[in-house]
Amino acid sequence: MSTIFTQIVEGEIPARIVYEDETTVAFLDANPLAPGHTLVIPKDEYERLNDVPADVATDLYDTIHRMVPAVEDAVDADATTVAFNNGEEAGQEVPHVHCHIVPRFEGDGGGPIHAVAGEAPDLDDDELDEIAAGIESEA
More confident residue, 70 or 115: 70
Instruction: Look up the domain containing 42 and give its range.
Output: 4-138
What's the pLDDT tens digit per position in 13-34? 999 999 999 999 999 999 999 9
Tell me, what CATH number does 14's domain have? Answer: 3.30.428.10
Q: Are 35 and 64 in contact (CB under 8 A)?
A: no
Q: What is the pLDDT of residue 1?
A: 66
What's the pLDDT tens digit per position in 33-50? 999 999 999 999 999 999
Catalytic residue among 37, 98, 100, 114: 98
Percent of the chain exceeding pLDDT 70 equals 99
The pTM of the full predicted model, rounded to 2 decimals, is: 0.94
Number of domains in the chain: 1
Active-site residue flag, 98: yes
Q: What is the pLDDT of residue 76?
A: 97
